Amino acid sequence: MNDRERSFWGWGYVDCFPDEAARRALGAQVGTLLGVGALAPRPPPSLEAAALPSPRIAPPAALARFGSAENGDRVTHTYGRSYCDLVRGFRGDFSSAPDWIAIPASEDEIAVILRWCGEERVAAVPYGGGTSVVGGVECTVGDRFRGVVSIDLRRLDRVLEVDALSRAARVQAGARGPSIEAQLAPHGLTMRHYPQSFEFSTLGGWIATRAGGHFATLHTHIDDFVECIRMITPAGVYATRRLPASGAGPSPDRLALGSEGILGIITEAWLRVQARPRFRASASVAFPRFEDGVRAARAVAQSGLHPSNCRLLDRTEGLLNGVGNGDEATLLLAFESADHPLGPWIARAIALCTDAGGACPQGPTLRDEGASGAASAVATYKQSFFQAPYLQSALVSLGVVVDTFETACTWDRFEALHAAVEAQVGEAMKRACGGGVMACRFSHVYPDGPAPYYTFVAPGRQGAEIEQWLEIKRAAGDAVAGAGGTITHHHAVGRMHRPWYDSERPETFALALKAVKQAVDPAGIMNPGVLVDSDT
């Protein structure tokens, strides 16, 4: 791990946050887009001005040695990185800071911490990279508890074993994306799970939230990579068997996947890894009408070609990303393989797109990158995709209300869902902010439906940004739920999506989940308020 300073309120490294001149230029651009004139940047907050209460509890000496009650550590563990986390952090409001940060280096230490939490009525909030956008690591747990401990997994960050024959690796839960890739590289292997938060999020966080990576088809969710999981629960070890597949009853892995820290602390997993890709093919197809792009994306998703990328951008999304001419929708296609050249695959995908009304005048780009190809592609990906979150932090400093939300629905429902989202979120932006801009892309596509991903940008009123955002967020949640979509395709439930999640899942499932929680977490200390209410 490097020792570059991380922002205590915004995204990523302090040295990557745009300086005042860059933010002023951005303020002029965004002000024009929103029709409100140039927006002036406010200076970023200082750590010294952060307001937080004194700790309510202190661990016994035997535990205190592997943790911290320093204000700086408590501040950095107060929030994830949702829009309202950024706004509250920018305002210096850290009123819900955890009382103590535990940084265990072993499963034994985790077990000791959980035992103490249970005995002392202290809530335990697992913390991976802290990139949750749904309040998953927030310590607002109610007054049933005497205090809250944030349990940071950063010391469990190693690839412990590689089974080259089965092409699998045993990885600790606190390892972040770049560290996993760096440790697999000497074996000629890669995981290739790239959520946009890749640089700072961890394997444990990915498993706990069922994260979605960059593959638009096939291996999209972390679920697809997991062979088995180890988790420390307050009731003991929960370890599943390493298998390529199994039909033995409901899957114990599935219970841990998406458990969002309410059952226990995931400490490691065996993962399916891959050979580094060598052959690549890509193309960009333009569509005068978004709905033709939708038909093309569906045709490709149902073709059995399984592209690694099949991202449809509407014209506004293209404009925001510098793709296309701003008049048309764009479908970005890509294939990758460690084994074979991909000319026929990309040619067939382009043919499906042109049948649907698309144009690809430049044709495909085909590359054979040899053994070193993957590293340069990762670097390119890093530069473009991974820089985008810094922009959101910069926009917060300009007082802009800016956020994303995502869903998934079956193809037969997409048109109505998209229309409902455009209408209801558009109206909410008008009510709350006087107007705004919304963009749509498909982040993933399945044979039976797309995962539409929306971005909204609207002018904020200083001091009222959270109320404005809430009105838009509620409209977005109601629109996707009302039109038969899921409240989240990959950003998880956390505390933020509870109302919609509660009505999305069967009530009998809620009862079953509560019973499971009661069995492995009898004192109800694990991440209270997330996914399900404990009766304890």
Ligand X SMILES: Cc1cc2nc3c(=O)[nH]c(=O)nc-3n(C[C@H](O)[C@H](O)[C@H](O)COP(=O)(O)OP(=O)(O)OC[C@H]3O[C@@H](n4cnc5c(N)ncnc54)[C@H](O)[C@@H]3O)c2cc1C
Query: Where along the sequence are the contacts to ligand X (CB under 6 A)?
Result: 80-81, 125-133, 136-137, 153, 173, 195-197, 201-202, 204-206, 208-209, 211-212, 260-261, 265-266, 389, 490-492, 494, 527, 530
CA distance 179 to 175: 6
- How many whole angstroms separate alpha carbon 87 and alpha carbon 75? 14
Q: What DSSP designation does 520 have?
A: H
Nearer to ligand X, 358 or 485 (CB): 485
132 or 284: whose CB is closer to ligand X? 132
CB 388, min distance to ligand X, A: 7
Q: Pinpoint the alpha helices (H) of 121-217.
A: 177-184, 203-209
Q: Closest approach of Cβ 70 to ligand X, in Å?
A: 19
| CA within 13 Å, CB half, 381 | 19
- Kindly state the smallest distance separating residue 130's Cβ from ligand X, in Å: 5
CB of 309: closest distance to ligand X in angstroms?
Answer: 13
CA angle centred on 343, ends 341 and 349, rounded to 5°: 130
CB atoms within 10 A of CB 328: 20
Output the 3-class SS for 432-484.
HHCCCEEEEEEEEEECCEEEEEEEEEEECCCCCHHHHHHHHHHHHHHHHHHCC
Nearer to ligand X, 193 or 298 (CB): 193
Reduced to 3 states, what is the DSSP secondary structure of residue 273? coil
Among residues 204 and 318, whose Cβ is nearest to ligand X?
204
Task: Give the 3-state secondary structure of residue 188.
Answer: coil
For ligand X, which is the closer residue by CB, 130 or 477?
130
Nearest-CB residue to ligand X? 205
Instruction: In angstroms, give the least distance from the CB of 322 to ligand X.
Output: 18
| 65, amino acid identity | R
Question: What is the C-alpha separation between 324 and 57, in angstroms, rounded?
Answer: 56
Looking up tokens 């202290």, which residue turns up?
A: 122
**265 or 296: CB nearest ligand X:** 265
Q: Which is nearer to ligand X, 36 or 111 (CB)?
A: 111
Closest approach of ligand X to the CB of residue 462, in Å: 23
Minimum CB–partner distance for residue 16 and ligand X (Å): 13
Least Å distance, CB 453 to ligand X, is 9
Tell me if 7 sits within 8 A of 45, measured CB to CB: no
31 Cβ neighbours under 8 A, 6+ residues apart: 37, 38, 39
Closer residue to ligand X (CB): 162 or 173:
173
